Amino acid sequence: MMGARFKSTTPGAAASRLREEALAALRQGDHARAAELAGEVVAADPRDAVAAQALGHALLMLGRPREAVEALRGPAASADDPAIETLFARALARAGKPREALEQLRRTTARRPAFALSFLELGELCAQAGRFDEALAVFGEGLALAPDAAVLRVGLGHLHLKLGDRAAARAQFETVRRAAPQRLDAAVGLARVLELGGDFAGAAALCRSALAVRPDAATQIQLGRCLLELGERAAGETALKAAASGSTPATGLAIAALAAASHGRLFLKPSAAAAFLRGGTS
């Protein structure tokens, strides 16, 4: 297959075309296509760091972290690129190698100038391990070095939510929204703060504004929960059905939201709940 693609033009031009097609597929969410195209480029030139990064992203989105580790190991060691190192660490963590991931992230966060995403990954990995004080310190260090890094403020907001500090979480999300109103992650984070505080109408409004820009199953489920709590049962169920139409994991989360809401539905069998969310009737 690769030979046929490279036949009609020079190898360099063909590689460039395939690389751009892979990146376009990645942006469009066609991860299988992105992996196929980027894989062809990497097979022809293992030193192509851009293609390796695209391949690693695609494989992670496809739930194939071990393959992503192998695709990124060489470039992470040789490319001198904090973005590839950070993606490699993410792949290591998802492949069940948290110690290696931590070691890589500590090296990358020591780089200057600071690469904000490496602090985000390290902070989240520490939090997942229950090392919350260390996670807070990582976010603090990252923001001291890169105070305008919205992604770190959003990550810190979610960490505060995990720790039950809604006021601190709200402060981070609102800071980001003032500086960058277009950031959907901050809007969704703030919606969660409002939801937990019982302001379901405010949370639903933020979810709707985010969904108008970018459909997302998790935000659909959040909207569904809020609408159910507001007593808007039909609209809430419609939002949960929209989320469940996309993937099996989203269906499970939608079933949980449907059962937990005060105006939701409880099914005796998960299969009945899944059938309902996929278009059946009660």
More confident residue, 256 or 99: 99
For 112-153, what is each residue's pLDDT tens digit? 999 999 999 999 999 999 999 999 999 999 999 999 999 999
- Per-residue pLDDT band for 59 (boundaries 50, 70, 90) equals very high
Do residues 75 and 91 touch, judged by C-beta distance below 8 A?
Answer: no
DSSP-derived secondary structure letter, 214: S
pLDDT of residue 269: 62
CA angle at 273 for the pair 32 and 222, rounded to the nearest 5°:
65
Residue 29 above 90 pLDDT? no
- Domain end point (choices 63, 79, 95): 79
Tokens representing residue 10 in the block = 């020079």
32 domain residue, yes or no: yes
What's CA 179's distance to the chain center, in Å? 21
pLDDT of residue 177: 94
- Domain end point (choices 61, 79, 97): 79
**Alpha helical stretches, state H, the chain:** 2-7, 11-27, 31-44, 49-61, 65-78, 82-94, 98-109, 116-128, 132-145, 150-162, 166-179, 184-196, 200-213, 217-229, 233-244, 248-260, 270-277
Query: What pTM value is reported for the model?
Result: 0.83
- Encoded amino acid at 147, one letter: P
- Which residues span the domain enclosing 224? 198-282
Tokens representing residue 105 in the block = 């992230």
pLDDT of residue 250: 75
What's CA 149's distance to the chain center, in Å? 17
170 domain residue, yes or no: no
236 domain residue, yes or no: yes
Q: Which of 5-9, 260-264, 277-281 has the lowest mean pLDDT?
A: 5-9
Nearest to 124 by CA among 113, 112, 138, 111: 138
Q: Which residues of 37-55 are buried (b: 16+ CB within 10 A; e: fewer)?
A: bbbbbbebeeebbbbbbbb
132 domain residue, yes or no: no
- Encoded amino acid at 229, one letter: E
Q: Which of 60-69, 166-175, 218-227, 259-268 has the lowest mean pLDDT?
A: 259-268
Say how far apart CA 52 and CA 71 lie, in whole Å.
6
More confident residue, 271 or 39: 39
Residue 10 above 50 pLDDT? no
- Token pair 């990645």 in the structure block, residue: 26
pLDDT of residue 11: 54
Mean pLDDT of the chain: 88
Mean pLDDT over 56-70 rounds to 94
CA diameter of the chain: 63
More confident residue, 233 or 262: 233
Percent of the chain with pLDDT over 90: 65
- Domain end point (choices 79, 112, 130): 79
For 183-230, what is each residue's pLDDT tens digit? 999 999 999 999 999 999 999 999 999 999 998 889 999 999 999 899
Residue 8 above 60 pLDDT? no
Q: Which of 14-28, 89-103, 236-250 has the lowest mean pLDDT?
A: 236-250
Q: What's the length of the chain?
A: 282
CATH of the domain at 24: 1.25.40
Percent of the chain with pLDDT over 70: 88
211 domain residue, yes or no: yes
Total Cβ atoms within 10 A of residue 20: 13
φ/ψ region of 9 (left if φ > 0, alpha if ψ in -120 to 50, else beta) reads: beta
157 domain residue, yes or no: no
More confident residue, 94 or 46: 94
pLDDT of residue 152: 97
- Token pair 């305008």 in the structure block, residue: 148
- Encoded amino acid at 169, one letter: A
Tokens representing residue 261 in the block = 């809401």
30 domain residue, yes or no: yes
Number of domains composing the chain: 2
pLDDT of residue 6: 41
111 domain residue, yes or no: no
Do residues 83 and 117 touch, judged by C-beta distance below 8 A?
Answer: yes
Residue 99 above 90 pLDDT? yes
Say how far apart CA 88 and CA 97 lie, in whole Å.
11
pLDDT of residue 1: 37
Say how far apart CA 265 and CA 217 lie, in whole Å.
19
Say how far apart CA 85 and CA 81 lie, in whole Å.
6
Q: Which of 91-100, 172-181, 203-212, 263-272 has the lowest mean pLDDT?
A: 263-272
